[in-house]
Amino acid sequence: MSKINIRWIITIFFLSLSLYGDSPSKDGWINLFDGKSLKGWEAQAEGDVKVKNGEIQILSVKKNLWLLNDHTFKNFELEAEVHMPTDKYNSGIGFRCAPGAKKITGYQCEIAEELSGAIYAIGKGWVYPPKKDEFPQFYKKAQDCFKSNAWNHIKIKCEGETIQIWINGHQTANVTNSYFSEGRIALQHHGKGGVHRFKNVKVRKL
């Protein structure tokens, strides 16, 4: 095969990736959501999942719904924007997740008003705060960083056993835990409340 053909194959490959938002930018960020389709995402339960106005919109009634991305990450930085309804809800961003027969496993960054930015290990229990009686102390530290009825920026960073989370630039968690070391990114609707909205979901390997 000639050098020219090899160059064309490489060029076409990276162009095809860029069309779907899978190719890294110069600073290493990969867009997991292209703003137009659900390419690369898979729902783990029935529900209304769609793309509208450049957002992933998820609605499920009485059933926990996870929307998993098909990329797997070990050490990474994740950024996303979320907008939750004002009625009763519980949502989250999963990371280092794996699909299971009954439910996924992995970590969950809570999105739930003043508890946003806490960490739950699915099937294991609370990572941070480790006990429910420590929630008031967490609320005090979070200082209303999560804004109701508004877009909120979430950053999750995992390096080895270290997990760090920021909500709108305010760090809510900096812990070590070894339950899960690698897995997929996931978006959640817990079967309560209205439509949960996500956009600008991107990740960078570390």
Phi, psi of 18 (to 5 degrees): -65, -25
> Which of 14, 165, 204 minimizes the C-alpha distance to 82?
165
- Tokens 């938002």 found at: 21
Query: What domains does the chain contain, in order, with CATH numbers?
Result: 1-26 (no CATH), 32-205 (2.60.120.560)
pLDDT of the residue at 27: 80
Q: Can you give the pLDDT of all 206 residues of the chain as single tens digits? A: 555 555 554 444 444 444 445 656 668 999 999 999 999 999 988 899 999 999 999 999 999 999 999 999 999 999 999 999 988 788 999 999 998 777 899 999 999 999 999 999 998 999 999 999 999 999 998 888 999 999 999 999 999 999 999 999 999 999 999 999 999 999 999 998 999 999 999 999 99
How much is the pLDDT for 22? 61
pLDDT for 12: 41
